[in-house]
Amino acid sequence: MQIEALKDLLAQPKYIVITSHRNPDGDAIGSSLGLYHYLKKGGHHVQVMFPSEFPDFVAFLPDAETIKIHDDDPDGCNLLLEAADIIFCLDYNALHRVDTMGEVIAAQDCTKVLIDHHLEPEAFADFTLSETTASSTSELIYDFVKLMGDEDKLDATIGECLFTGILTDTGSFKYSTSAKLFRTVAELTDLGVDNYTLQDKIFNSLEEKNLRLLGHCLYNRMEILDDYKTGIITLSKKDYEYFDIQRGDTEGIVNYLLKLKNVKCAAFIKQQPNVVKISLRSKGDFSVQEIAQKYFKGGGHRNASGGHTFKGLRKTVEILKEVLPEYKEELNKE
């Protein structure tokens, strides 16, 4: 499908569902709500839908309270998906990333639009905007609005959502930046988005327990494997109970490992109720995407990937440690 056909389709009001991935992060929410506010201006009926609940730190975004969670009401959500003329799939590259919601999306013969920046996008959509060098899907939503010839529809509300996704996916302009991204950010600033105010809302909203949890992770749960320039932080089921860890509470902890001069690869391994989740991060040319894909049924980007196992916390740490020798040379390359 070409952009002109999509423009024609969007020329009349449509029923649109915007979906993003499980455990939605700042970019999933920012890109979805940014697109939502843009499409609303075109007179469309728009619903944002995620497989699972989003973290509190993005609840301030305009209309976040209208988002539907598939886990909470699968039947109601499926009806909305079935009624949609267009389904947007944002910030994920394959339908299995959205679990049962993906099966329902696959079963619909409506128009599907994929906008994403992850490696190896699946070809399931009628229209795909995939740019793996983009900082975030939010950056791509900005490009998409321009592609649609609707630059004049951009405003501070849309800007605030997109700026949020850019901030969270780039770690406040540290990762995956480009001259083009900074130009986009400048244009978002022109729309009236204030960088400081937004960063304050997003990043300075922790509760006391979050900071204590971070201290616990760094003091009691961190292991550094000097030979492999790798740092590991683990969180057990007991830690989850003791700190009453909720969605979003562990956000960003993995990045602290990268502050170590001698660490190139960081792993954060969490024992969640039904699954062990692994978050992988790296510096420079070292890619964690292959490790996530080959050994942890996951994927993502070169410097930020994730995956999972059903093998328990200790065994998952063991798997990672068994895998590292394969990458020893690369990790020790200057």
Residue 280: phi and psi, rounded to 5, are -120, 140
Binding mask 75-114 for Mn ion (x = CB under 5 A): ----------------x-----------------------
For the bound state, the minimum distance from the C-beta of residue 4 to ligand 5GP, rounded and expressed in Å, comes to: 31
For the bound state, the minimum distance from the C-beta of residue 13 to ligand 5GP, rounded and expressed in Å, comes to: 32
Q: In angstroms, rounded to a whole number, what is the distance separating the alpha carbons of residues 148 and 111?
A: 16
Cβ distance to Mn ion smaller for residue 27 or 251 = 27
Give the one entry of ligand 5GP, Mn ion, none that residue 300 binds, where binding means its C-beta sits below a cut-off of 5 to 8 angstroms depending on kind.
ligand 5GP
| Residue of 16, 18, 21, 27 interacting with Mn ion (CB under 5 A) | 27
For the bound state, the minimum distance from the C-beta of residue 219 to Mn ion, rounded and expressed in Å, comes to: 30
Give the one entry of Mn ion, ligand 5GP, none that residue 27 binds, where binding means its C-beta sits below a cut-off of 5 to 8 angstroms depending on kind.
Mn ion
Residues that bind ligand 5GP in the complex, under the rule CB under 6 A: 97, 118, 279, 298-301, 304-308
User: Measured at CB, which residue is nearest to Mn ion?
Assistant: 27
User: Measured at CB, which residue is nearest to ligand 5GP?
Assistant: 306
Are the CB atoms for 257 and 279 separated by under 8 Å? no
Interface residue list for Mn ion (CB under 5 A):
27, 91, 136-137, 169
